Structure 1
């Protein structure tokens, strides 16, 4: 049986990511939103530390503000694109699955990557290969698989590799 971590924040970086992703997900910064984000930022890493032996290793938090801005922009942009596709002709929608090869090996970084992909309308992280080298992603409108893979790797995975080496 695992013991409780010796600190309230076993992974401060992960707590920060949980806090930020919750606020992005609810789309608000009201007192209740901030309180729930704070509770989740404490509780989720504590439970995660008890369930998983692989603790988050944090490199640098320098790319986090830009990365969060990129994710926020992509959420807005994707909302508009999905709405445009839904309101347009059905033939304009080309759904599909892609396997994204992963360079990131830190499971916490992979979890953050899958969250970013799923938070962005029009894409959903569907599966992680057993060896953690490939992520299956469903795209609502897949025009160019390689371009989509390259965009995910450049916009999300690369900065996450700095945060989670």
Structure 2
């Protein structure tokens, strides 16, 4: 019964907290509306979720979060310097095909978010059988290094977290 009413308790609590914090009001009306949203939205989006999410290693997920944050800062500088470069120092972008071992749809969704949030990389296409991924890299010096970076820095931890 409780699982039916709260298909995703973490999302429910997050939506309630988000509503109250964004409105900066903790009155009865806002609290009631936050609870209605917190219960209603997860019920409405339940059919859209591909699979239940289970974190097997939350500490690794936390470490991955900070790794991605660090990479965002580093790549912002690399892209900035690349856009200001002239002559032979102009970055040479290109596409790489990354073979994937990650099969979990939630893990793939997180990998897509990571590759799209890091400046200089764009998730371009996923093979229908989910065996490989096409990624555009802003400043590609060595395709093999880029593939290895994606696999070791992002795919491997995501496999440990989601599979």
- Residue 164 of structure 1 is matched in structure 2 by 162
Q: How does 1:109-120 map to 2 (within 5 A)?
A: 109-120=107-118
Question: Cα 1:76–1:46, aligned 2, differ >3 Å: closer, same or farther?
Answer: farther
- Residue 75 of structure 1 is matched in structure 2 by 72
Gaps of 5+ in 1: 20-30, 33-38
Q: How does 1:126-165 map to 2 (within 5 A)?
A: 126-165=124-163
Counting matched residue pairs gives 139
Match of 2:4, SS? coil
- Structure index of larger Rg: 2
- Residue 58 of structure 1 is matched in structure 2 by 55
Question: Cα 1:132–1:73, aligned 2, differ >3 Å: closer, same or farther?
Answer: same
Rounded to whole Å, the distance in 1 between the matches of 2:78 and 2:137 is 12
Rounded to whole Å, the distance in 2 between the matches of 1:45 and 1:100 is 36
TM-score by length of 1: 0.73
Match of 1:94, SS? coil
- Residue 99 of structure 1 is matched in structure 2 by 97
- Residue 26 of structure 1 is matched in structure 2 by none
Rounded to whole Å, the distance in 2 between the matches of 1:155 and 1:124 is 16
Q: Which has the higher helix share?
A: 2
Q: Deviations over 1:29-77 (max 9, x none)?
A: xx54xxxxxx89x957962x31244333432212012111110000000
Two-structure CA RMSD over aligned residues (Å): 2.9
TM-score by length of 2: 0.73
| Contact 2:8 2:42 survives alignment (8 Å) | no
Question: Cα 1:46–1:120, aligned 2, differ >3 Å: closer, same or farther?
Answer: farther
Gaps of 5+ in 2: 16-20, 23-36
Rounded to whole Å, the distance in 1 between the matches of 2:9 and 2:97 is 29
Match of 2:52, SS? coil
